[in-house]
Amino acid sequence: MWLKPEEVLLKNALKLWVTQKSSCYFILQRRRGHGEGGGRLTGRLVGALDAVLDSNARIAPFRILLQVPGSQVYSPIACGATFEEINQHWDWLEQNLLHTLSVFDNKDDIASFVKGKVKALIAEETSSRLAEQEEEPEKFRDALVKFEARFNFPEAEKLVTYYSCCCWKGRVPRQGWLYLSINHLCFYSFFLGKELKLVIPWVDIQKLERTSNVFLTDTIRITTQNKERDFSMFLNLDEVFRIMEQLADVTLRRLLDNEVFDLDPDLQEPSQITKRDLEARAQKEFFRAFFRLPRKEKLHAVVDCSLWTPFSRCHTAGRMFTSDSYICFASREDGCCNVVLPLREVVSIEKMEDTSLLPNPIIVSIRSKMAFQFIELKDRDTLVESLLARLKQVHANHPVRYDSSGDDMTSPVFYSASTCGEHRFGDLTAESSQHREGSEGKSPPPHPQPLTAVFRQSPDSRLSQEQIKISLWNDHLVEYGRTVCMFRTEKIRKLVAMGVPEALRGRLWLLFSDAVTDLASNPGYYGTLVEQSLGRCCLVTEEIERDLHRSLPEHPAFQNETGIAALRRVLTAYAHRNPKIGYCQSMNILTSVLLLYAKEEEAFWLLVAVCERMLPDYFNHRVIGAQVDQSVFEELIKEQLPELAEHMSDLSALASVSLSWFLTLFLSIMPLESAVNVVDCFFYDGIKAIFQLGLAVLEANAEDLCSSKDDGQALMILSRFLDHIKNEDSPGPPISSRHAFFSDDQEPYPVTDIADLIRDSYEKFGNQSVEQIEHLRCKHRIRVLQGHEDTTKQNVLRVVIPEVSILPEDLEELYDLFKREHMMSCYWEQPRPAASRHDPSRPYAEQYRIDARQFAHLFRLLSPWTCGAHTEILAERTFRLLDDNMDQLLEFKAFVSCLDVMYNGEMNEKIKLLYRLHIPPALTENDRDSQSPLKNPLLSTSRPLVLGKPNGDSVDYQKQLKQMIKDLAREKDQTEKELPKMSQREFIQFCKTLYSMFHKDPEENELYQAIATVSTLLLQLGEVGQGRGSSGSGSHEGAEELPASAPSPEQDSVFEEAGRTPQDGRAFPDAEGDWTVSLEHVLASLLTEQSLVNFFEKPLDIKSKLENAKMNQYSLKALETSHQPQPELKLNNL
């Protein structure tokens, strides 16, 4: 390969190189000790040194140097592992460079020209390998060449990055190179003459964590099903671990989580993943999680800057994030100041004059007459240009429409977030009460106002406290902004923790979640969905109808048709909008609460925000998101409440009750007037609020939980505590709790105020940042997805184990091989029409299926019936036989059942399987081998049924066959469907398979003789039966000799049976007549030869085949995919 030219001085160097070729400007050299027959002492010494050196220090045995005449300085420009490789570079130099160098007069010009040309060659090769995307293309290119040579993967296996490190084997470290590709983690080491290769698929990794051992304080531990591997001594361990985690997460979500795969286009092009892409993806994930923006939002730039914050009278340092539809700002100090600016609210983006006090400033003006000043922006001109282009596009796609109803905040739809203007919050309660008087008894779809405005009557004693809260919020909003573009600071968080006034709750939820932007951008969308979805009947609508009356039944709003109808419309409209989610339990409870405080259309968009942005992957088939957060919650318990975690060694009991905390945001297990305060915090802080409140609940009950005797008592303690959380500031009457039956004791239970509990949660557990939570989610998603894989595996094995004789441990290994075969096709092949992706929504047994080509790979590796070149044909026939529903896909159960017959079946079962493989549907007219009849003297069947033996004896098989067939017919299960008879062409194929199976068997000669004997018998039986059948139908003389109506007891029933005309259609109609033999004929004939009986009844060991398959499955797949001979690649069995 070409090398970046670097000058070296060879005057005083050891004579380690021998010149092979030379010209005026180039020298081709071979390193001593390579390619020498005997070799002198120097050559032996150099060769031995190269053999024992670590792989990092080994030197290629051939090189080309650039030499300038008269200079002692040389520059290596190429190297090679073989003479043929280096000679190609030499030929290229002679043909393309050598004749042009003579035109240069200056020696320095010659050196510069050659070096520039070689660098251009390197750059050209680099670009073809995507290596130009890496920071050091030359080094990456070198690593890519070594990766491909060492592991022999197909070209589709793209290398992402590589690191030097140690892999620990017990207490022994092995220095080498770690290669991270899109589907695998690979390690290579060559030390002291020993080579080590590890290949670990990302989908096999069950745990990825940073840990320490007795020798090193910081290592990366990779845990798979059977082994743990520790890697250490990285130059930048933080970066390595982050890249590993991202690659594992991306690969698992791409291959094991169909629901996320369809929503994320980035997962659908794994071949384009690079190190920079992973870093950009991680930044994009953080951006969307931090600001809780739509999944489709694409991050364009992250720029360091400072924002003028008028409330603090200074500029606040932070970062600006720009995306398709948003400009966002986050301060460096967590929680100090955050801003979300939807581009549809932006009026103008202007550059200001650059001064020493305000370097590179821009002004962003919004519709509510606010302006945001950003300074210290690098590359300001380019940034403003791109922002203006996107601003123009957003306004073209979503023109702003103003609400014609003026100041009426109760209108069904508002088209701009600016309607939440400065003068409107204070009048909201009065507007609501005035509108309530004129709306009683009316419930037009969609409902024009929050349900609390109609169905709640506030006690006068608490109205004054509510007015105080409204006053505090209005004062805050005047200073910090009233729209979605408000300054979000620690002060507003404290106001939220105190509880949002009921009159402002719905609108603030819209602002905090940015659902107001979706509402304003999609006028009429909800009404269209309602029209399209109502009246339709399907499984989802049936589930919704079943749960409608279970949604807050204690609230008066849902004790009549007004609330129920609104709830039905919102849920069915959302199910119609997002059929992948449809409807999940707990969505009804959440939507009911949203309808209490927001108008119907607003509640719909709040539900969209919760399901698609704030709680991603919660409301789908497997609720993966909720399970991931449960696992994160368990880790936080161990970290924040170690004493409780130590007492409750199994935290899964807590998970059973805390799952509803996350799915319903505490709405289903807390009194409603208290739970809505939790929802306030959730809409402002996201899932972080639920984590910290859950920890606060456990911490408040830690003493009682530690003294509990069992899980049941612990759950009772938590339920009773949550049932007695009250909201003293709530203006509404208390709603009866659904958990009142837990409080039937005589002594009154102490009451906890929700405001105090929320305040404690922020003070004690509010230090978790969004970045930390996202990191924990990434870590635990791996465990959750692998847990689902283990569940699938155990359920499949539980069904299969009773039906086969293969040992459970061998079945487990077969399942792993079956799954890996499916995965390898996902790695390196374009999806074929029949090949279905892993679909977790299907029944367990159908989640992994393989097509005909994948089955052929496994058949070659695992089948005991090896037939040389005929094996592939036999595999095709076996697949057609097992594919009952003809969908070109095979499940694990069918695959294992076939292997079980081959390894553990009785002889008659094995013969029956072979027989079925040579009749339709397994054997077809288009079968590759069906048109090559067996050329053999056996086809001449004019001999009697008396065959001679080598020792001169003779055996008459007629009576033997007669008795055997009678016995077989007697034992045959009457309920079993009779198999079609075999035509002569099918029989020839059957014989050919048997001949192929006996090849290289220790008893090969005896088996060939035996099958020749049996074939002759069967061919004669078929002809005799054919003759009897034709005589009975067309010859009077034949009818007299063998009356078909009354056969004598001595007459052989074989011939009678063989004479019958088969009723089924044949795949190979015989032009010569209806020559047929039945399964009973075949089996009875085979039983006459002891060597054949021994062959089919000898015990077979599947374990050796399994070990061989595990070692060679990858190399066979790589060989087929790359279509070129490859050295063996062994998958490390981790």
Q: Enumerate the H helices of 361-427 as residue ranges.
A: 380-397
Beta bridge partners of 752: 725
Question: What confidence score (pLDDT) does residue 451 get?
Answer: 79
Q: Is 740 exposed, middle or buried (0-12, 13-18, 19+ CB in 10 A)?
A: exposed
Backbone φ and ψ of 430, nearest 5°: -65, -45
Backbone φ and ψ of 491, nearest 5°: -65, -45
Positions of the chain with pLDDT lower than 70, given as ranges: 8-15, 34-58, 99-100, 103, 120, 123-136, 213-217, 258-268, 400-445, 447, 456-463, 732-747, 830-838, 927-977, 1024-1073, 1121-1134
Distance CA 293, CA 287 (A): 8
Kindly give, in sequence order, each residue whose CB lies less than 8 Å from that of residue 705, ignoring residues fewer than 6 positions away. 644, 647, 648, 698, 714, 717, 718
Kindly give, in sequence order, each residue whose CB lies less than 8 Å from that of residue 338, ignoring residues fewer than 6 positions away. 291, 328, 329, 330, 331, 487, 488, 489
What HEC string does 101-114 produce? HHHCCCHHHHHHHH
Question: What confidence score (pLDDT) does residue 462 get?
Answer: 59
Beta bridge partners of 1013: none
Q: Taking Cα atoms as reference points, which of 56, 79, 81, 104 lies closest to residue 8?
A: 79
Q: Taking Cα atoms as reference points, which of 937, 939, 931, 859 lies closest to residue 902?
A: 859
pTM for the structure as a whole: 0.76
H or E element, residue 679? helix 672-685
Question: What confidence score (pLDDT) does residue 742 get?
Answer: 44
Residue reference for tokens 């079993």: 976
Q: Structure tokens of 1048?
A: 């004598």
Question: What confidence score (pLDDT) does residue 619 get?
Answer: 87
Q: Are 618 and 611 in contact (CB under 8 A)?
A: yes
Question: What confidence score (pLDDT) does residue 680 get?
Answer: 96
Distance CA 359, CA 419 (A): 34
The tally of CA atoms less than 13 A away on the side-chain side of residue 125 is 17
Q: What is the dihedral of CA 228, 229, 230, 231, to 10 degrees?
A: -150
* CA distances, 835 to each of 197, 853, 997 (Å): 31, 10, 30
Distance CA 33, CA 41 (A): 9
What DSSP string describes 1032-1049? HHH-HHHHHHS-TTS--T
Count the residues in the chain: 1134
Question: What confidence score (pLDDT) does residue 837 get?
Answer: 62
Q: Structure tokens of 468?
A: 């105080």
Question: What confidence score (pLDDT) does residue 445 get?
Answer: 58
Per-residue burial over 971-994, b if 16 or more Cβ lie within 10 Å, else e, is eeeeeeeeebbbbbbbbbbbbbbb
Q: Structure tokens of 232?
A: 């250490």
Q: Structure tokens of 17?
A: 């190189």
Q: Are 219 and 231 in contact (CB under 8 A)?
A: yes
How high does pLDDT run on average in the chain? 79
Beta bridge partners of 178: 163, 187
Distance CA 616, CA 609 (A): 10
Q: Taking Cα atoms as reference points, which of 51, 68, 25 lies closest to residue 192?
A: 51
